[in-house]
Amino acid sequence: GVGGHHEVGVAEMVRKKMGSFVGFANLPNQVHRKSVRRGFQFVTMVVGDSGLGKSTLINTLFEHKLYDLGAPRSLANGSSMNGNANGRTVAIESKSADVEENGVRLKLTVVDTPGFGDHVNNDEAWKPIVDNIDSRFDAYLEQENRVNRSKLMDNRVHACIYFIQPTGHSCVPFKFLSPNPKMIDLWGVLHLFRLRPIDIEFMRKLHHKVNLIPVIAKADTLTDDEVVAFKQRILNDIAHNNIQIFQPPIYDLEDEETIAENEEIQSKVPFAVVGSDTFVTTADGRQVRGRAYPWGTIEVDNEAHCDFIKLRQMLIHTHMEELREHTNDVLYEQYRTQKLLSMGVAQDPSVFREINPAAKQAEERQLHEAKLSKMEAEMKMVFQQKVQEKESKLKQSEEELYARHREMKDALEKQRYELEERKRRLESGRPPTPDKTGSKKNRFGIGK
Ligand code: GDP
């Protein structure tokens, strides 16, 4: 197992018959021939509640009974430690199969994770999954640091299919919403179908570490309208929470056909999938993989019925290499940089500097000092700002004081002038001058 997790590894070799088509025969067209000789490694992880059809979908995707759906799971190594009687996945387990299609070899590994419902406490349900992804990165990093790097085993998780339950989630119990049935319909579309907090938390914990591919599980249980509304809601929630999911890139592509193809795939995200590894007979007598209902048959391999074909096209036929590259160039690179930094190793891809305690201490001291001087500068700035504020306030009140002083001075001056005038008149014995109106009439309008 990887990193001490309870894992069960089962390797088998299955030669695909010519004519049956899964899609990885196209891998040589996706990568250089050198990789063809070595064969390909691809690791898919499935995450979601138990019973959402994870095992069934994997079998459907690779046309291979990787999971024996009838038997209790996790008993492959003969130990009952990882399995229980009702076939639930209770520990992280991985299964591998060497499959070959038209001469192209693929070592396929599926990492199955425990369903959320199986946890007593769901708060940290994501932790063992993140730990598993990390330990796979660690194992790769360790190989890279070895002298002989000729044959790297790439057991990093290249894609994580995240199963969203088709019943959605309502924040408010229905009966509290509105007694008006029309409103309930509206609220149903707006609110019932949305991601649960646990879905959001999971995806937030995973999206920097793995190519996230959200799918709506068991889409045959939803109407077409519900699928459309649910998809929109999910995309909104994903955008709102800044979750990055894997999307086939359409930028920096020149070939129009590929752009159209990728846009077509993008338009189906999150894929509404139906899984089934059994054949049923349609009304018109065709044998198809699907699920039979009294009102008709849902066909897995029919694009009008679900997005299974598009998911498989992206995952296997057109973007397997893209998923592997993005894992290596972006997700793993981020992880490695963080890891090396946290170990005190300078970020230099070519030279792994020895961990030197003295150098590390000096580096830490430097960081600390930088932090202190930054704080000092900030405090200075705040202080200066405060002083400036005080100064301008003082200046303002000074001006106000000055203005008031002048006013008072003027008023006093005027008073003094008037008093002096009156004094002069009294001294000269002259009668007082008429008032400002100059009128000689009294208030009754009668002239003197
Ligand atoms: P897991 O616990 O997530 O691995 O789920 P399983 O693959 O064991 O499936 C659980 C049950 O759901 C089984 O009875 C399957 O037959 C059924 N199931 C699987 N996929 C689908 C699907 O797409 N639609 C419906 N309606 N049922 C499904």
Give the model confidence (pLDDT) of 90-148 as tens digits. 578 888 888 877 777 888 899 988 776 555 566 677 888 999 999 999 999 888 887 77
* Backbone phi, psi, residue 302, to 5°: -125, 115
Residue 82 has pLDDT above 80, yes or no: no
CA-nearest residue, atom 10 of ligand 1: 51
Q: Give the residue among 138, 273, 153 at the shortest CA–CA distance from 209.
A: 138
Report how far ligand 1's centroid is from the alpha carbon of 218 (Å). Answer: 7
Q: Are residues 360 and 321 in the same domain?
A: no
Q: What is the pLDDT of residue 385?
A: 81
Q: What is the pLDDT of residue 16?
A: 47
Q: Distance between CA 202 and CA 330 in Å, rounded?
A: 20
Q: Are residues 376 and 318 in the same domain?
A: no
Q: Euclidean distance between the first and final Cα of the chain, in Å?
A: 125
Which position has the higher pLDDT, 72 or 34?
34
Report how far ligand 1's centroid is from the alpha carbon of 217 (Å). Answer: 9
Range of the domain at 120: 13-342
Helix (H, G, I), strand (E, B) or coil at 198: helix
Does the beta carbon of 291 sit less than 6 angstroms from any atom of ligand 1? yes
Q: Which residue has the tokens 């793995």?
A: 210
Does the beta carbon of 154 sit less than 6 angstroms from any atom of ligand 1? no
**Most ligand 1 atoms within 8 A of CB, residue of 56, 92, 161 to mutate:** 56
Final residue belonging to a domain, choices 342, 375, 405: 342
Q: Distance between CA 97 and CA 12 in Å, rounded?
A: 5
Cα 109 off chain centre by: 24
Q: Are residues 24 and 161 in the same domain?
A: yes
Q: What is the pLDDT of residue 422?
A: 92
Final residue belonging to a domain, choices 309, 342, 375: 342
Q: Which atom of ligand 1 is nearest to the CA of 69?
A: 8
Give the model's confidence band at 355: pLDDT under 50 very low, under 70 low, under 90 confident, else very high. low
Residue 77 has pLDDT above 50, yes or no: no
Mean model confidence pLDDT for the chain: 76
Q: What is the pLDDT of residue 33?
A: 57
Which position has the higher pLDDT, 300 or 147?
300
Report how far ligand 1's centroid is from the alpha carbon of 270 (Å). Answer: 18
Q: Give the residue among 41, 14, 43 at the shortest CA–CA distance from 27.
A: 41
Q: Are residues 74 and 209 in the same domain?
A: yes
Task: Tell me the range of 148-152, 191-195, 379-383, 443-447 where mean pLDDT is highest.
Answer: 379-383
Report how far ligand 1's centroid is from the alpha carbon of 275 (Å). Answer: 7
Does the beta carbon of 52 sit less than 6 angstroms from any atom of ligand 1? yes
Domain count, the chain: 2
Enter the ipTM: 0.98
Is 232 within the bounds of a domain? yes
CA-nearest residue, atom 12 of ligand 1: 53
Contact 269, 214 (CB under 8 A): yes
CA-nearest residue, atom 6 of ligand 1: 53
Q: Are residues 377 and 259 in the same domain?
A: no
Is 7 within the bounds of a domain? no
Contact 95, 83 (CB under 8 A): no
Helix (H, G, I), strand (E, B) or coil at 308: helix
Residue 21 has pLDDT above 70, yes or no: no
Q: Are residues 268 and 392 in the same domain?
A: no
Q: Which of 180-189, 374-383, 391-400 has the lowest mean pLDDT?
A: 180-189
Contact 47, 160 (CB under 8 A): yes
Is 247 within the bounds of a domain? yes
Q: Are residues 365 and 226 in the same domain?
A: no
Helix (H, G, I), strand (E, B) or coil at 29: helix
Q: Where are the alpha helices (DSSP H) in 10-76?
A: 27-30, 33-38, 54-62
Residue 202 has pLDDT above 80, yes or no: yes
Is 189 within the bounds of a domain? yes
Does the beta carbon of 55 sit less than 6 angstroms from any atom of ligand 1? yes
Q: Are residues 249 and 318 in the same domain?
A: yes
Question: What tokens does 241 get?
Answer: 């929470």
Give the model's confidence band at 240: pLDDT under 50 very low, under 70 low, under 90 confident, else very high. very high
* Backbone phi, psi, residue 287, to 5°: -95, 115
Does the beta carbon of 51 sit less than 6 angstroms from any atom of ligand 1? yes
Longest Cα pair distance anywhere in the chain, in angstroms? 138
For 324-343, the pLDDT digits (tens) are: 989 999 999 999 988 888 87
Q: What is the pLDDT of residue 75?
A: 34
Is 401 within the bounds of a domain? yes
The one-letter amino acid code at 171 reads C
Does the beta carbon of 277 sit less than 6 angstroms from any atom of ligand 1? no
Is 432 within the bounds of a domain? no
Is 131 within the bounds of a domain? yes
CA-nearest residue, atom 7 of ligand 1: 53
Report how far ligand 1's centroid is from the alpha carbon of 51 (Å). Answer: 6
Report how far ligand 1's centroid is from the alpha carbon of 55 (Å). Answer: 7
Final residue belonging to a domain, choices 342, 368, 393: 342
What is the DSSP track for 364-432? Answer: HHHHHHHHHHHHHHHHHHHHHHHHHHHHHHHHHHHHHHHHHHHHHHHHHHHHHHHHHHHHHHHHHTPPP
Residue 245 has pLDDT above 90, yes or no: yes
Q: Are residues 338 and 375 in the same domain?
A: no
Q: Are residues 68 and 206 in the same domain?
A: yes
Q: Distance between CA 12 and CA 8 in Å, rounded?
A: 13
Q: Are residues 193 and 243 in the same domain?
A: yes
CA separation, residue 38 to residues 138, 151, 383 (Å): 22, 9, 66
CA-nearest residue, atom 22 of ligand 1: 218
Is 444 within the bounds of a domain? no
Q: Which atom of ligand 1 is nearest to the CA of 58?
A: 7
Give the model's confidence band at 63: pLDDT under 50 very low, under 70 low, under 90 confident, else very high. confident
Q: Are residues 168 and 245 in the same domain?
A: yes
212-216 vs 279-281, strand pairing mode: unpaired
Helix (H, G, I), strand (E, B) or coil at 212: strand
Report how far ligand 1's centroid is from the alpha carbon of 50 (Å). Answer: 9
Q: Distance between CA 73 and CA 87 in Å, rounded?
A: 5
How many Cα atoms occupy the beta-carbon half-sphere of 351 within 13 Å?
A: 4
Q: Distance between CA 276 and CA 285 in Å, rounded?
A: 18
Q: What is the pLDDT of residue 166?
A: 86
Give the model's confidence band at 254: pLDDT under 50 very low, under 70 low, under 90 confident, else very high. confident
